[in-house]
Amino acid sequence: MSVYTKEDIENKKLRGIFIGGKTKVGIKVPYLRRSYQSKRDVLDVLADALPGTMLLAFSAMLIATIVGILLGVLAAVNQNTWWDTSAVFASVLGISAPSFFMGIVIAYVFGFVLSHYTGLNMTGSLYNIDPFKGRQLQLQNLILPAITLGIRPLAIITQLTRSAMLDVLDQDYIRTAYAKGLTKRMVIFKHALRNALNPVITAITGWFAELLAGAFFVEYIFGWKGIGKITVDALEKLDFPVVMGSVLVTAAFFIIINMLADILYGIVDPRIRKSN
């Protein structure tokens, strides 16, 4: 919020909400300047790349959340069995493997060596431009980067779900639910899992914010057009307005997603709503 003259607003073509006569008080829409390379507004450059990053991050977190929670529940219910040992061992490997290393391995194995069987490419974005057919949707290019990006959050979600489920399964109300004659599936998924999800939600929202902030190496390795690849390209070309704009956008995502996490806590666990 600041004070502007009418001439400033007209000459600089400011956008926002302004109130007053010759001297106006208003809230200006942030102007992120123009790209040094393309001469386009930075906001337009980022708006073109943002849907790709959001789709990639959402797909990666969807895979990590579904598979991670199921593996965590399976490991907790079958504690000290080969299911538990395998899930813990796989999650440790997933946490230890850097994303850029896994990206190179997965791209080479499934996008090059086994490409005849998988039908997948090493690199590619959501759309391909064909000179005759125009822009074509290529959803298969999403598979490898989404899996690569989801490996580390999947491993962490598995560990957190297993740990939280083991704590919950020892509670008195779980034994009471069994005593009432409820089935094992109902007790685990309706009572135990719901009360074990708070730390998992923290991990999911935190990782989702990080993935939206730019999966720089993964997007760059797979040639996926998103905020990360745009930022790396801008750094190579010393296009500082684009870099500063991407930092501002990703910081805003961190704030918004953390606020949404607080709302999700109340939805999942009614005890939090009562305490507030």
| 40 has pLDDT over 70 | yes
| 216 has pLDDT over 70 | yes
**Predicted local distance difference test score (pLDDT) of residue 13:** 59
Q: Please give the average per-residue pLDDT across 234-259, as a whole number.
A: 82
- Whether residue 197 sits in one domain with residue 126: yes
- Whether residue 79 sits in one domain with residue 13: no
Among residues of the chain, what percentage have pLDDT more than 90? Answer: 0
- Whether residue 3 sits in one domain with residue 108: no
- Whether residue 201 sits in one domain with residue 109: yes
Among residues of the chain, what percentage have pLDDT more than 70? Answer: 82
| 263 has pLDDT over 70 | yes
**Predicted local distance difference test score (pLDDT) of residue 273:** 55
The whole-angstrom separation of Cα 217 and Cα 228 is 7
Write a three-state SS string for the chain.
CEEEEHHHHHHHCCCEEEEECCEEEEEECCCCCECCCCCCEHHHHHHHHHHHHHHHHHHHHHHHHHHHHHHHHHHHHCCCCHHHHHHHHHHHHHHHCCHHHHHHHHHHHHHHHCHHHHCCCCCCCCEEEECCCEEEECHHHHHHHHHHHHHHHHHHHHHHHHHHHHHHCCCHHHHHHHHCCCCHHHHHHHHHHHHCHHHHHHHHHHHHHHHHCCCHHHHHHHCCCCHHHHHHHHHHCCCHHHHHHHHHHHHHHHHHHHHHHHHHHHHHCHHHHHHC
The structural domain count of the chain equals 2
**Predicted local distance difference test score (pLDDT) of residue 23:** 67
Q: Please give the average per-residue pLDDT across 156-160, as a whole number.
A: 87
- Whether residue 190 sits in one domain with residue 153: yes
Q: Which has more confidence, 115 or 211?
A: 115
- Whether residue 120 sits in one domain with residue 17: no
What is the residue range of 216's domain? 32-275
Q: Please give the average per-residue pLDDT across 212-216, as a whole number.
A: 67
- Whether residue 136 sits in one domain with residue 235: yes
- Whether residue 107 sits in one domain with residue 21: no
| 86 neighbors 100 (Cβ within 8 angstroms) | no
- Whether residue 92 sits in one domain with residue 12: no
Contacts of residue 51, Cβ cutoff 8 Å, sequence gap at least 6: 126
- Whether residue 190 sits in one domain with residue 56: yes
Give the CATH number for residue 247: 1.10.3720.10
Tokens of 95: 């946490």
- Cβ of 155: how many Cβ atoms within 10 Å? 23
| 6 has pLDDT over 60 | yes
- Whether residue 157 sits in one domain with residue 95: yes
pLDDT, one tens digit per residue, over 71-105 is 988 888 888 888 888 888 888 888 887 877 888 88
- Whether residue 205 sits in one domain with residue 139: yes
